[in-house]
């Protein structure tokens, strides 16, 4: 039997898109002959995974694993929600999140072969999406929430507070899950994004025939609405629109948050 090197296996994987074990088996079965191994994989229907890598994978699932004051959010993308709800898909997703909690975001790469193998097994373009890890510092309060309306995660939130408690952190998590803001504070919105929105709002206001003298006030009012939609600290609390998030926090402070919504 020919000596099969890791470099040979990697080259075949790159050429065909198959998992490590399938690439190694193909080379073993064909005595190390690269071209015969490619043909063997095609005959077995395994190299079709390479074709799948170009297909849109806007579906999937997201989960969060937690250990003490450390949490990890991992997104796994697929082409259909049928695959996203499958036991094999979610078992790997949970495994990935657990690994990130334990060993950090960089550990995802060590599990690429498992992702590749699942792509072959389930016959879809499956790939790891966003990977985010929070480790709350001394005195920090961490909360997480995963929305699973049909049994698998489609909306996941992590939030970290300073000066608050678990109850407050939970309220903020649930608010985040519902409103889906992009930024924490007004200062986090890029200046070019604000300028672009201001320009659009001015054009809308002029097209509506608003008086020239009133335009500055109208534009600022509409820009405030933009901030309320996209900036967490500008929003009204979903459970009581008479209370802003800033007022809800009191002396507490949101240090960071993360959110992943499937299909967004």
Q: What is the pLDDT of residue 54?
A: 58
CB 170 within 8 A of CB 192: no
Across residues 31-36, what is the average pLDDT? Answer: 88
CATH for 6-52 (1.10.10.10, 1.10.8.10, 1.10.645.10, 3.30.2010.30): 1.10.8.10
Mean predicted lDDT score pLDDT of the chain: 91
Average pLDDT over residues 85-101: 97
Query: For position 133, what pLDDT does the model report?
Result: 98
CB atoms within 10 A of CB 83: 24
Please write the tens of the pLDDT for every residue from 179-226: 999 999 999 999 999 999 999 999 999 998 999 999 999 999 999 999
State yes or no: pLDDT of 14 exceeds 80. Answer: no
Q: What is the dotted CATH code of the domain comprising 190-230?
A: 1.10.286
All structural domains of the chain with their residue ranges: 6-52, 59-184+238-261, 190-230
Provide the whole-model pTM.
Answer: 0.78
CB 258 within 8 A of CB 157: yes
- Name the nearest CA neighbour of 258 among 104, 108, 76, 72: 72
Please state which architecture CATH assigns to domain 59-184+238-261.
2-Layer Sandwich (3.30)
The predicted pLDDT at position 264 comes to 83
């Amino acid at each position: 039997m020919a000596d099969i090197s890791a470099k040979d296996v990697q080259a075949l994987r790159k050429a065909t898109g198959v998992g490590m074990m399938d690439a190694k088996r193909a080379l073993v079965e064909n005595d190390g002959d690269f071209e015969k191994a490619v043909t063997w994989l095609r005959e077995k229907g395994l190299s079709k995974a390479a074709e799948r890598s170009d297909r849109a994978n806007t579906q999937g699932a997201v989960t969060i694993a937690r250990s003490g004051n450390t949490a990890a959010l991992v997104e796994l993308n697929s082409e259909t929600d049928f695959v996203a709800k499958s036991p094999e898909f979610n078992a790997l997703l949970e495994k990935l999140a657990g690994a990130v909690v334990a060993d950090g975001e960089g550990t995802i790469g060590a599990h690429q072969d498992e992702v590749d193998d699942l792509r072959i097994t389930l016959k879809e373009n499956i790939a790891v999406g966003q990977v985010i890890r929070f480790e709350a510092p001394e005195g920090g309060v961490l909360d997480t929430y995963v929305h699973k309306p049909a049994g698998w995660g489609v909306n996941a939130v992590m939030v970290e507070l300073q000066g608050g408690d678990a109850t407050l952190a939970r309220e903020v998590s649930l608010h985040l899950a519902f409103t889906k803001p992009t930024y924490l504070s007004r200062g986090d919105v890029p200046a070019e994004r604000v300028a672009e929105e201001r320009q659009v709002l001015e054009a809308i206001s002029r097209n509506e025939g608003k008086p020239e003298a009133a335009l500055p006030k109208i534009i600022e009012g509409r820009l405030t609405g933009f901030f309320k939609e996209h900036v967490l600290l500008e929003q009204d609390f979903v459970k009581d629109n008479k209370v802003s998030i800033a007022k809800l926090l009191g002396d507490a402070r949101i240090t960071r948050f993360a959110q992943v919504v499937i299909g967004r």
